Amino acid sequence: MKLNFCSLSSGSSGNCYYIGNESHGILIDAGISASSIRKFLKNISISIDSIMGILITHNHIDHIRGLEVLIRKNHIPAFTTQKIWESILSPRKKISRDCIREIPQQKKINLDNFEIEAFPVYHDAPETIGFQISAGGKKITIVTDLGHICQTAALYIKESNLLVIESNYDEQMLENGRYPYFLKERIRSDNGHLGNHQTSVFLADIFNDSIEHICLAHLSKNNNTPEKALETLQKTFSERDITLKSHQQILILNRNIPNEMIRLVE
């Protein structure tokens, strides 16, 4: 079996990721409009009808923008913890009860051939989770919004074959940028976002042969550039004498357009 991954959109303006096999798929977050999600999926020849579920990481708008419409129009069940559901649902947000699925943390659930496990990450939402999705002997881990990497998240990350990890801001750009001080402090706090340097040092610490694809995700529009995120990681790796093997690559996920599909073969 193949496990395919495609980032449809990644960044503070909207997040949506596709994981699928030959016949079915799931989405992680629906932070862009439902019509963009349908269009982007169509562009990569994926039918919306093949989507079995939407996994939700937290209640911030860049992760749930298209959720309500997508559920209403396509009747796809959505999965997240009880606490995150409480933070999403409001009198304004009408999501059909029969599409709401509550999931536990750190306990595997199955959706067709996909094994899914949610785990806690630290971020400034009522609750935020990362996901590990396994199928066909391959593991994908997604952590897009977190202020620091705790030991639990590190365990999931280390064993992944494909890793989607936040590299939100360039530390210097944020410091010298025009955001108000309180916002800068919020972003770089332990419950905010991961900076390029922070992510790079962590990746250098845990890098191992099983990691085939490192996808740097959720780049800030104002405080980062794809070049800076990549340079910082490459520089950190070279300082630690880490060289990528032929099966390993680093990829920067686009903010507004899908990346190429990555195919993990057992």
User: Three-state DSSP class for 165?
Assistant: strand
Q: Which one of the spans 106-114, 139-147, 164-172, 183-191 is the region binding Zn ion (CB under 5 A)?
A: 139-147
For Zn ion, the closer of residues 127 and 145 by Cβ is: 145
Query: Residue 243 CB, nearest distance to Zn ion (Å)?
Result: 32
Per CB under 5 A, 29 contacts Zn ion: no
Region binding Zn ion by CB under 5 A among candidate stretches 69-77, 87-95, 137-145, 165-173: 137-145
Element (H, E) at 181: helix 181-188
Comparing C-alpha atoms, which of 38, 2, 14, 19 is closest to residue 164? Answer: 19
User: Residues with Cβ < 8 Å from 170, sequence gap 6 or more?
Assistant: 195, 196, 223, 224, 225, 228, 229, 232
User: Which residue, 60 or 139, has its beta carbon nearer to Zn ion?
Assistant: 60
Residues 6 or more apart from 156 whose CB is under 8 A from it?
A: 117, 119, 130, 132, 141, 143
145 makes contact with Zn ion (CB under 5 A): yes
By C-beta, is 34 or 121 nearer to Zn ion? 121
Stretch in the footprint of Zn ion (CB under 5 A) among 53-61, 146-154, 178-186, 199-207: 53-61
Residues 252 and 61: their CA atoms lie apart, in Å, by: 22
Helix (H, G, I), strand (E, B) or coil at 161: coil
Q: Single out the residue of 27, 37, 38, 62 in contact with Zn ion (rule: CB under 5 A).
A: 62
Q: What is the C-alpha separation between 157 and 241, in angstroms, rounded?
A: 21
Which range in 42-50, 59-67, 74-82, 204-212 contacts Zn ion by CB under 5 A? 59-67
Of 60 and 188, the one with the shorter C-beta distance to Zn ion is: 60
* Cβ closest to Zn ion, residue 62 vs residue 170: 62
**Interface pick for Zn ion out of 4, 20, 36, 60 (rule CB under 5 A):** 60
Handedness of CA 105, 50, 20, 110 (dihedral sign): positive
Calculate the dihedral angle through the C-alpha atoms of 55, 58, 60, 65, rounding to the nearest 10 degrees. 20
Q: How far apart are the first and last CA of the chain?
A: 7
Q: Please identify, using beta-carbon distances, which residue of 18 and 237 lies nearer to Zn ion.
A: 18
Minimal CB distance residue for Zn ion: 60
- Residue 166 as a binder of Zn ion (CB under 5 A): the answer is no
* Number of residues counted as binding Zn ion (CB under 5 A): 3
Q: Rule CB under 5 A: which residues touch Zn ion?
A: 60, 62, 145
